[in-house]
Amino acid sequence: MIAWFARNSVAANLLMAFIAVSGVIGLSNIRGEDFPLVALDMLTVEVPYLGAAPEEVEEGVCIRIEEAILGIDGIKQVTSTAAENMGTVLIEVELGADVRRVLDDVKTRVDAIDTFPEETEKPIIAELVPRIKVIDLAVSGPVDERTLKTVAERIRDDLATIPQISQVELVSARPYEISVEVSEAALRRHALTFDDVARAVRRSSLDLPGGAVRSESGEVLLRTVGQAYRGAEYEDLVLLARPDGTRLQVGDVATVVDGFAETDQSARFDLEPAVLVSVLRTGAQSDLEISDLVLDYVDRTAPTLPPGISLTVWQNEGQILSDRLWLMARNGATGF
């Protein structure tokens, strides 16, 4: 074969050109990703249970889901987590099992449960999708925490509207929290207990579906809307209605603080308070495409932010991938 190509230089040159062109075409079709996504073979079942303590969530949600999915073929392990207002069941699928079939079986079993407490909302059942971070942005500046988080949330929402971007989340941002600090002396003065205040807050912090009413003109959806969202609304909650028409409100016996949860989360960028915005990819999304879109957004948005707030690219996996591809192409050209 070598001797034949030595005698037929035209054929050898054509073969070399074919290999080179095929390499260029193949390079252009390479998916732009730094690390490949690996299927997790995990399912999640989440059930919101508003106003419930972890013990109530465990008994009313988690145990009933575990009992319902018991015996489904293809399930390797089930792990439940009961937290305030939410029950989560993590299902690990056996290696080689059909994840979609197991997901359908779990949906059928969970949807058939009719003994959930009335305060629970519809279960959210989904396959756990692997995600890989592409680029981090830092929203920073010498401003208060609420202003910084508000700007970061707007940036997150803007990025999420870009069709090629599906996963954007805030990092190191403390969740909003309204705390009710009850005065023990005020409770004694009005002959009340901590449980009385807790019941009033729980009773006025629910937003529940109430079914539907069908008629000849159509269907009307009913919902009990009693959710308080701001500190002032919690202060106005009624604890006691007196015969003379006066009312004792939460604000009369407690101090309501509309702020943030007490956590260890915090971030600083260039020595200033910061909130990080992470953009991730799933499925067949491209690191390079997402990186270019985010960089373009940063160039357009950074000059429009409030005075003192900066939007900076902190870490860019797309740029790292681009550098690697350029190095590979340069080495290939050198060898050619």
What was the pLDDT predicted at 226? 44
**For residue 80, what are its two tokens?**
């439940």
What was the pLDDT predicted at 181? 79
Residues of the chain predicted below pLDDT 70: 1, 5, 24, 26-39, 203-231, 332-333, 335-336
The burial class, CB within 10 Å (0-12 / 13-18 / 19+), for 34 is: middle
What was the pLDDT predicted at 31? 60
**Measured distance CA(234)–CA(200) in Å, rounded:** 9
What was the pLDDT predicted at 132? 83
The SS3 assignment for 4 reads: helix
Delineate the domains of the chain, giving CATH numbers in brackets: 42-127 (3.30.70.1430), 132-174+264-335 (3.30.70.1320), 193-212+223-257 (no CATH)
**8 A C-beta contact, residue 67 and residue 225:** no
**8 A C-beta contact, residue 252 and residue 182:** no
DSSP secondary structure letter of residue 34: S
**Measured distance CA(148)–CA(140) in Å, rounded:** 7
What was the pLDDT predicted at 211? 45
Question: Residue 104: CA atoms inside 13 Å, Cβ hemisphere, count?
Answer: 4
Tally the residues of the chain: 336
**Measured distance CA(276)–CA(313) in Å, rounded:** 10
Strands (E), the chain: 42-48, 75-83, 86-93, 124-127, 132-140, 167-171, 176-182, 207-215, 218-225, 238-241, 247-249, 254-260, 268-269, 272-281, 310-316
**Measured distance CA(83)–CA(279) in Å, rounded:** 27
What was the pLDDT predicted at 209? 47
What was the pLDDT predicted at 222? 40
